[in-house]
Amino acid sequence: MTAARPLTASADGAALSGTGFDVAAVRDDFPILASSVNGQSLVYLDAAATSQKPRAVIDAEVAFLTRANSAVHRGAHTLAAEATELFEDARAAVAGFVGAHDGELVWTSGATAALNLVAYAIGNATAGRGGDAARALALRPGDEIVVTEAEHHANLIPWQELAARTGATLRHIPVHDDGTLDLDAAAALIGERTRIVAFAHVSNVLGIVNPVAALVELARAAGALTVLDACQSAPHLPLDLARLGVDLAAFSGHKMLGPYGVGALYGRAEVLDALPPFLTGGSMVTTVTLEHAAFLPAPQKFEAGTQPVSQAVALAEATRYLSGLGMAAVHDRERALERRMRDGLRGIPGVRLLGDTERAERVALCAFDVDGVHAHDVGQFLDARGVAVRVGHHCAQPLHRRFGLTASVRASASVFTTEDEIDVFLDAVSGVRAFFGVAA
């Protein structure tokens, strides 16, 4: 792994203040970056969809599978004990990375699974499962769930379904024309009937860091539960979920240099203790009879069946890698890349940026529309030049509808992105309209 160290400038010439990291050395850690696409050097600007993996993460999973592979929490033999120790050490590492204790971190298959876990667990509480603490989480007709207009479908549809099952009402906080949340509307919406406030830390379309403190304050005043989608913040910002004050949060491994098939649900201990389980079966029980089952405490009561063990071990290595770079340094560098990308896109005729504002903190992610050219055509044009971006609605159809679009192009950077790659991307975008014959 590349250790963080003081620098005066990065390998590609970008000045850094204080402590930074050697981007050229970081790039050497990612084998896929040596690839060519369509005869061009790969420029990977799709990190918001899935990140690339450093060799340390790949090696960590391979090492577990080749030297320690065994069922966890189930065997008395040496290999099982070693696997269990690695699995729980991974929990502690990932929990520490997001400012949590290991008992506050539940393994899931990803953020979508984590958010559905919460929604279905609350539904189970509504159905009468769990004790007195669970009943306090139950929803009733007339109760309200508040989301935002900018949510990823994974933090919208589970709440739609929960509202349909319980008779609760789903409401949403609108966004301004610049993509920032309408906090005046939020203050009017969040009130005595609000039971849940669910929102993204960072919009996966706009790259805007949402005002967590303001939303948590409104929710607390109403006695509502807060649920944070941290998928786009965990890889890019120093993250302390306990300090943010949210009750629950979800994030995915594959977006933060880790493998597919693993993610986590963070929950304050008292909230996890109150929630009844969602999935049931082996490994999450204490005593089972033919008529009744008693469950383990959190987090194990939410971890029925076979867990993503090798993936968890690899995700822990990803958090160690990011911590070695320094998350403050990661954010500072990516903020400079975002500014270069956004300023460059602003200067290209016919390009419209979504959420182009100076009123909010941002991560290195830009979504845009090219006048007269469909997003998918733009993506194919860029791909022919070796530039990988995301096209479509990015699982955020309501937000695209808000801006009068069905699709956009999204470019998103990571720890290995260079200024030269941003410039290659911008040069390619500048040629799109002429290629398709729509330039003025």
Catalytic residue set? 395
H/E stretch holding 439: none
- Please state whether the peptide bond connecting residue 299 to the residue before it is cis, i.e. omega within 30 degrees of 0: yes
Q: How far apart are CA 25 and CA 23, in angstroms?
A: 5
Q: How far apart are CA 265 and CA 128, in angstroms?
A: 23
Single-letter residue type at 359: R
- Long-range contacts for 95-98 (Cβ within 8 Å, ≥24 apart)? 95/266, 96/319, 97/234, 97/239, 97/319, 97/322, 97/323, 98/230, 98/234, 98/239, 98/240, 98/241, 98/249, 98/251, 98/264, 98/266
Of 438, 379, 385, nearest to 411 by C-alpha is 379
Of 366, 363, 321, nearest to 343 by C-alpha is 366
Question: Residue 294 burial by CB count (10 A; 0-12/13-18/19+): exposed, middle or buried?
Answer: exposed
5: phi then psi, degrees, rounded to nearest 5: -155, 155
Q: How far apart are CA 420 and CA 23, in angstroms?
A: 12
